[in-house]
Copies of this chain bind each other. A is one copy, B any other.
Amino acid sequence: LEINTDTTRLSEILTVNKKLVDRVILDFLPVSNSSHEIQSLYEMMRDYPSRGGKGIRGTLCLLWCELFSGTREKALITAAALELFQNWILIHDDIEDQSDLRRGLPSLHKKYGVELSINAGDALHGKMWELLLSNLGVLGAETTLTVLSEFARMLNETTEGQQMELFWTSGNKWNISEEDYMLMVAKKSAWYTCISPTRLGVMLSTTGKMHEKSAPEKMSELLNKLIRFGISFGIAFQIIDDVLNLTADESKYGKEILGDLFEGKRTLMLIHLLNSLGTKQRTEVIEILSRPRKNKTSAEMKSIYELMKSSGSIDYARQIADAHSARAMKLFEETVSEQSDIHPRTYSQTKSLLEYLSSRDH
């Protein structure tokens, strides 16, 4: 099988799938209401979904479904609900992390205030479940409920991961082990970015096929393997994302550069840096990072970034990301090799996309 790693082709895969998913979302979300106030809620709910973003989670779900020779249409509502998940949880995340920018524009609470934005996040969260209920006509009752259960699991994992990270920030805790960091990332990021999109795509590929129904144990084994795949992939993805926050070109980025340092976010680079420094310098760095955002200067953040570079923290993080990416790709190949009905073109697309996402250099 030929692998095409051309990024133009990759962004096309994302664009095509995102377009399909976006149509489902924007057709589904309410548009207008005779009450001025409720109309304003609808505008808030459509705000993040209208801003773009890569649509990674929805695309992964559609690709895995096709990869296992399923019909893309069967996974479309679920893929759209994955993107709604991302959108409502970002509304709340941006408040929790005090992020001022999202996809190049002011975050929702900067536009409308915290109070209205918490509620709009809840409203969009409700719409995610409502959209998933509309799977009934396409998938039947049993599969609709299976998909809902996966979303419940995904949300449990995500909120537990978010709790770990917020707990460290709010408790001013800096001595995080790499093991704790990996657990946090697996929960906070890997589940909703990769594990559930992948598992859902595979689950939905068998809809209407009789032969899979006879092998529930084989399916259960496969879905467990996809957790291991997704954890490694998700860890690589998140580390790369955090590296980009430090190294990316602001004009292309869309989020605040060095924003993670202003936020005091516990990244693998920071954990490595703190472990590398002597007591005095370590105390100084922690003192700076512990301050509220408004009491931090760009110069201070840049100096910590320079320390990370000179301490080899960024190289270290990239190495760990590479190792996890390699492990994920190995599990991907294993999984594919065990299946008899892999769709060749989708295999090529999925492999390229996974490699790109777990080792992006922009």
Please give the residue numbers on chain A whose beta carbons come within 8 Å of chain B beta carbons, in ascending order. 33, 35, 37-38, 40-41, 89, 92, 95-97, 112-116, 118-120, 122-123, 125-127, 129-130, 133, 136, 141-142, 144-145, 148-149, 151-152, 155-156, 159-160, 162-164, 166-170, 180, 183
**Nearest B residue to A160 by beta-carbon distance?**
B38
**Nearest B residue to A155 by beta-carbon distance?**
B126
A141 touching B130, Cβ below 8 Å: no
**Nearest B residue to A148 by beta-carbon distance?**
B133
**Nearest B residue to A164 by beta-carbon distance?**
B37
Besides A125-B125, A126-B156, 17 more A-B contacts (Cβ < 8 Å) are A33-B160, A35-B180, A38-B164, A40-B167, A41-B159, A92-B118, A92-B122, A95-B114, A97-B115, A112-B170, A115-B170, A122-B155, A129-B152, A129-B155, A133-B145, A141-B141, A145-B145
A120 touching B163, Cβ below 8 Å: yes
B123 touching A122, Cβ below 8 Å: no
Chain B residues with CB under 8 A of A37? 163-164, 167-168
Q: What separation, in Å, do the CA atoms of A180 and B38 have in the docked complex?
A: 11
B159 touching A119, Cβ below 8 Å: yes
Q: What separation, in Å, do the CA atoms of A183 and B38 have in the docked complex?
A: 11
A160 touching B116, Cβ below 8 Å: no
Chain B residues with CB under 8 A of A40? 163, 167
Chain B residues with CB under 8 A of A114? 95-96, 114
A28 to nearest B CB, angstroms?
A: 12
A94 to nearest B CB, angstroms?
A: 11
A155 touching B123, Cβ below 8 Å: yes
**Nearest B residue to A142 by beta-carbon distance?**
B141
Most interface-central of A33, A40, A41, A114 (chain B CB within 10 A): A41
B160 touching A123, Cβ below 8 Å: yes
Shortest Cβ-Cβ A-B pairs, 5 listed: A126-B155, A123-B159, A141-B141, A130-B152, A41-B163
Q: What separation, in Å, do the CA atoms of A125 and B89 have in the docked complex?
A: 12
